[in-house]
Amino acid sequence: MKIKGLTIKSLIFRNPLWSLCVSSIFMVSIYWGFLASDRYVSVSNVVLASPQIAAPTLDFNSLLAGSTSNTADMLLLRDYLLSVDMLKKVDEELGFRSHYSNTDIDFFSRLYDRETYLEEVHEYYLKRVSIVLDDYAQVLRIKVSAFSPKMARDITTFLLEKGEQHMNLMGQRLAEEQVSFLEKQVNEQNERFAATRQELLNYQNKQGLVSPAGTVESINAVVAALEAQLTDLKAKRSTLISFQSNTSPEVVRINTEINSLQEQIEIEKSRMAQQSGDALNTVSSEYQTLELKVQFAQESYSGALAALENTRIEAARKLKQVSVLQTPTLPEYPVEPERLHNSLMFAVVAIFMALITHMLILIIKEHRD
C-alpha cells in the first residue's frame, strides 16, 4: 500500500513519529504478553442483614427509611474496608507489603518498596482491592487481586470478618451509650415519681382526706339538699302566717327549723370556703396541684421506660451480620492482566494519537509553505 508514493513500510521507518508508535506498541505488547505477572482475583458478594426483633410498620415512609439506612450502612462498610486502618490490619495479619513487594513480580505490577510511605501503600492497596455497591440489588461486590490464589482468598475472607466486627462494634457502642443515658433518665424519673407520690400521701394523711375533691362534691350535695328543705319550710311558714299569728306553736316550730337549717348551711359552706384556716377549696386546690405533679411524674417515668425498651430493641437490630451471597473464591487461573485486551487497546490509542500528530504536522508544513 502506498501513500503519495510512499509505502507504509517506508513511512514507518523514515518517519520518527511512526517509528516511535510502532516501537511502543511492540514493547507494550511484549510486556503484556510475556513479562506482566499473573494476578489472581478472588470474588465475594455480601449483604448486611439485621435481626427483625419487632415487625416493622408497613408504610411507604418506613420502607424508604429502611432502604436509606441499609444503603448508608453498606457505604460505611465499604469505606471502612478501603480505609488505611483496614490496610494496616491486612498488612499486620497477612503481610500485605511482603506479598506485593516480592521481587518475583514484574517491576510495573509490584509494590516497588515495602518500606515506602503508608500513603503510597494505600494507593497501591486501592488498585488491588475493589469494592462496589450495587444500588439496585443492595449488594457489596468485593474483588481482591493478588499474585497467588491463596493470598487473594485470604484477604477477601479477612475483609469480611473484620468488616462485620467493625459494624457490630460501632452499632453496639452507640446503642450502649443510648441505653446508659436512658437508664439514668429512668432512675431519675423513678425517684421523682416516688417523691411526688409520697408528698401526696403525706398531704392526705395530714388533712385526713383521701380525696378533697370528692368531699367538696359531697358537701355541695348536702348544701343543696338543705337549701331545698329550707325553701320548703319558708313556703310553709308563709302559708301559716297568712292565717296564724307569729306566736302560734306551729309558726314557732317552723321558724326554729328554718334557723337550724340556715345555721347548718352556713357551717357546711364555711367548711368549703373561709377567709382563714384550712378550707376545703384551698385543700382541694393544693391536692389537685400535687395530683397533677404525681400524674406528670408518672407519665414521664412511663415515657422513659418505653424509650428505654425501644432503644434496647433498636440496639439489638443495629447488630449487623454480613450475609455472604458468594463465598470468597479460590482462583484456579489468573484472570488478570487481560493481556490481549490491554495490548489491543494500547495499539488503538497509540495509532490514533500518532495519526492526529501526523495530521497536525502536515497542516503546519502546508501553512509554512
Give the best-scoring range by mean pLDDT among 166-170, 295-299, 350-354. Answer: 350-354
Give per-residue pLDDT as tens, 137-191.
889 999 999 999 999 999 999 999 998 888 878 777 766 677 777 777 778 777 7
Domains contained in the chain, number:
2
Residues 301, 190 within the same domain: yes
Residues 225, 277 within the same domain: yes
Residues 278, 345 within the same domain: no
Residues 281, 241 within the same domain: yes
Residue 369 resides in a domain: no
- Residue 91 confidence (pLDDT) above 90: yes
| pLDDT confidence of residue 123 | 94
| pLDDT confidence of residue 86 | 94
Residues 309, 343 within the same domain: no
Residue 172 resides in a domain: no
Give per-residue pLDDT as tens, 194-221.
778 777 677 666 665 555 556 666 667 7
- Residue 69 confidence (pLDDT) above 70: no
Reported in sequence order, the residue ranges of the chain that DSSP labels E, i.e. its strands, are 2-3, 6-7, 40-49, 129-134, 139-146, 321-326
User: Nearest 5 degrees, angle CA 348-CA 350-CA 351?
Assistant: 65
| pLDDT confidence of residue 246 | 67
Residue 166 resides in a domain: no
| Contact yes or no for 81/322 (Cβ under 8 A) | no
| Residues of the chain above pLDDT 70, percent | 74
Compute and round to an integer the Cα radius of gyration of the chain. Answer: 46
Full-model pTM: 0.60
Q: Give which of 61, 86, 53 is closest to 167, Cα–Cα.
A: 86
| Contact yes or no for 228/326 (Cβ under 8 A) | no
Residues 191, 248 within the same domain: yes
Residue 295 resides in a domain: yes
Residues 200, 277 within the same domain: yes
Task: From residue 354, give the alpha-carbon distance in Å to each of 21, 52, 350, 368.
Answer: 7, 62, 6, 21
Q: What is the mean pLDDT of residues 220-246?
A: 74
pLDDT bucket at 275, cuts 50 / 70 / 90: very low
- Residue 4 confidence (pLDDT) above 80: no
Residue 257 resides in a domain: yes
What is the pairing mode between strands 139-146 and 40-49? antiparallel
Looking at 41-148, list the stretches that DSSP marks H as alpha helix, in order from N- to C-terminal side: 60-81, 84-94, 96-100, 118-128
Residues 205, 248 within the same domain: yes
Residues 302, 257 within the same domain: yes
| Contact yes or no for 131/140 (Cβ under 8 A) | yes
Domain harbouring 229, CATH code = 1.10.287
Residue 25 resides in a domain: yes
Residues 249, 344 within the same domain: no
Give per-residue pLDDT as tens, 112-137.
888 889 999 999 999 999 999 988 88
Give per-residue pLDDT as tens, 97-111.
999 999 888 888 888
- Residue 22 confidence (pLDDT) above 80: yes
| pLDDT confidence of residue 10 | 55
Q: Dig out the grid coordinates for 34 from the structure.
A: 510475556
Residue 220 resides in a domain: yes
- When the pLDDT of each residue in the chain is averaged and rounded to a whole number, the result is 77
Instruction: Pick the range with the lowest mean pLDDT from 146-155, 200-209, 224-233, 247-256.
Output: 200-209
Residue 116 resides in a domain: no
Q: What is the mean pLDDT of residues 248-254?
A: 75
Residues 293, 215 within the same domain: yes
Give per-residue pLDDT as tens, 71-88.
888 888 899 999 999 999
Residues 244, 343 within the same domain: no
Domain assignment of residue 246, given as a range: 182-314
Q: What is the mean pLDDT of residues 43-66?
A: 57
- Residue 368 confidence (pLDDT) above 90: no
| pLDDT confidence of residue 52 | 52
| pLDDT confidence of residue 141 | 93
